[in-house]
Amino acid sequence: MVQFKTIKKMKIAKKNEMKVTLIIMVLVMTFVVTFVSVSVNFGYHAGFIAKWMKSWGLAFVAALPVVMVIMPIIKKTIAKYVE
């Protein structure tokens, strides 16, 4: 009988929670926005996937640093107004 080793669940350190959340958020948002943008502007054709993936890569590289800088500022600002 074959025995499988237990796969440990990956844990994220609390200090990295915000970074991981932001990376996933940026991945999903840029994925959706570039799909819609490329679909509307160029339609579906033979090179659609390649054009979309190129747009997605560029959008992700542009958006991630912006979000990493802006989100902590937004959190601190909002925290001032939360009871």
Give the Cβ contact number of residue 52 at 10 Å. Answer: 19
Task: Identify the pLDDT of residue 83.
Answer: 86
Task: Identify the pLDDT of residue 16.
Answer: 87
pTM assigned to the model: 0.75
* DSSP helix/strand/coil, 16: helix
H-state helical runs in 1-83:
17-42, 48-79
Task: Identify the pLDDT of residue 4.
Answer: 64
Task: Identify the pLDDT of residue 12.
Answer: 83
**Domain locations along the chain:** 15-79
Classify residue 81 by its DSSP letter.
Answer: T
The token duo for 42 is: 């160029």
Distance CA 47, CA 42 (A): 10
Residue 71 has pLDDT above 70, yes or no: yes
Instruction: Read off the pLDDT of residues 17-69 as tens digits, 9 standing for 90 and up.
Output: 888 999 999 999 999 999 999 999 999 999 999 999 999 999 999 999 999 99
